[in-house]
Amino acid sequence: MKKIFKLFSIIILLSLNSYSAISAEKVEYLKTDWSFKGLFGKFDRASLQRGYQVYTEVCAACHSMKYLSYRNLSEKGGPEFSVAQAKAIAASFEVTDGPNSDGEMFNRPGKLSDKFVMPYENVKAAEAANGGAYPPDMSVLVKARGGGVDYIYSLLQGYEEAPSGMTLDDGVHYNKYMYGNKIKMSAPLSDGIIEYSDGTNASVQQMSKDVTTFLMWAAEPSLETRHQMGFKAIVYLIILTILVYFSMKRIWSRVESEV
């Protein structure tokens, strides 16, 4: 019995120490106003289109989005490029297809039905090009990381000089929002690194917000539909509750109370 009690005490002590360590390392993420938050939240179309531009011109060199097709760019609820624009975007990429009648693979311009072009042929090629680290696919990255959009938004702006006393290996950078504060990816954004087609000032903060918005849509393309259905369900339940209330009131009004 004493052994069991001692073991139980050790488990509790270790649990408390682990919780204290996690709490000490917890960092407050940067906050911003997300248009898609809340019951009536919707994606900002202009931000989605700018976010796609950031992904294409900056992120796509290393990170794939293998679950997206070019046709998704013109679908309702997303960036809503016109069909002609989406076709032009797809055609600007070269896709490997085949085999042809001679049994050989060939390259052709992309089509709406094609998945986003991968930056590397395979995982090993990606690791070899990035010092052994595999750049994660960004299709559902927002959902796969604790903190969601706030974490991604903060991470992109969290690069700083390492604190005194911290030693970083070659190719490793300090980021105050990264788990463990060490990251192999160098700061991907800098003011004016791209020129927005709509004339918006391409600051690090603006690009971080736009590309994070795009990644949120990629991870949850049916978000607006879900919000609409949720609102309709709430209205339906309110109406149903009112009808049930008056029905029960009418039924019980026929029952004489005992004196």
Domain extent, residue 136, equals 33-68+115-220
- Answer yes or no: is 21 within a domain: no
What band does 197 get if pLDDT is binned at 50, 70 and 90? very high
Q: Stretch 58-63: mean pLDDT, rounded? A: 95
Q: Are residues 40 and 162 in the same domain?
A: yes
Q: Are residues 183 and 247 in the same domain?
A: no
Residues 6 or more apart whose Cβ sits within 8 Å of residue 197 = 49, 53
- Looking at the structure of the chain, the number of domains it has is 2
Q: Are residues 236 and 125 in the same domain?
A: no
What band does 194 get if pLDDT is binned at 50, 70 and 90? very high
| Range name among 30-34, 60-64, 85-89, 230-234 with the lowest pLDDT average | 230-234
Tens of pLDDT, residues 16-52 = 444 444 443 567 999 999 999 988 899 999 999 999 9
Q: Is the pLDDT of residue 246 over 80?
A: no
Q: Are residues 62 and 144 in the same domain?
A: yes
Which tokens hold the place of 235? 């209205």
pLDDT at 84: 97
pLDDT above 90 coverage of the chain, percent:
58
Most confidently predicted of 19-23, 188-192, 237-241: 188-192
pLDDT at 132: 84
Q: Stretch 123-152: mean pLDDT, rounded? A: 91
Q: Are residues 231 and 188 in the same domain?
A: no
Q: Are residues 227 and 247 in the same domain?
A: yes
Q: Are residues 48 and 148 in the same domain?
A: yes
- Answer yes or no: is 12 within a domain: no
Secondary structure (DSSP) of 37-53:
-STT----HHHHHHHHH
Task: Give the integer Cα–Cα distance in Å for 127 and 138.
Answer: 16
- Answer yes or no: is 194 within a domain: yes
pLDDT at 230: 64
- Answer yes or no: is 28 within a domain: no
Task: Give the integer Cα–Cα distance in Å for 19 and 212.
Answer: 30
- Answer yes or no: is 60 within a domain: yes
Tell me what the pLDDT averaged over the chain comes to.
86
Whole-prediction pTM value? 0.80
Q: Are residues 124 and 245 in the same domain?
A: no
Q: Are residues 64 and 154 in the same domain?
A: yes
Task: Give the integer Cα–Cα distance in Å for 65 and 215.
Answer: 9
pLDDT at 153: 97
Q: Are residues 133 and 199 in the same domain?
A: yes
Q: Is 246 left (phi over 0), alpha (psi -120 to 50) or beta?
A: alpha
Q: Stretch 154-175: mean pLDDT, rounded? A: 92
pLDDT at 218: 95
Q: Of 39 and 69, which is predicted with more confidence? A: 69
Tens of pLDDT, residues 110-129 = 999 999 999 998 889 998 88
- Answer yes or no: is 207 within a domain: yes
CATH of the domain at 128: 1.10.760.10
Q: Is the pLDDT of residue 71 over 60?
A: yes
pLDDT at 224: 75
| Range name among 1-15, 20-34, 184-198 with the lowest pLDDT average | 1-15
Q: Are residues 46 and 138 in the same domain?
A: yes
Q: Are residues 47 and 122 in the same domain?
A: yes
What band does 247 get if pLDDT is binned at 50, 70 and 90? confident
- Answer yes or no: is 154 within a domain: yes
- Answer yes or no: is 81 within a domain: no
| Range name among 64-73, 173-182, 192-201, 247-256 with the lowest pLDDT average | 247-256
Which tokens hold the place of 218? 């990629």
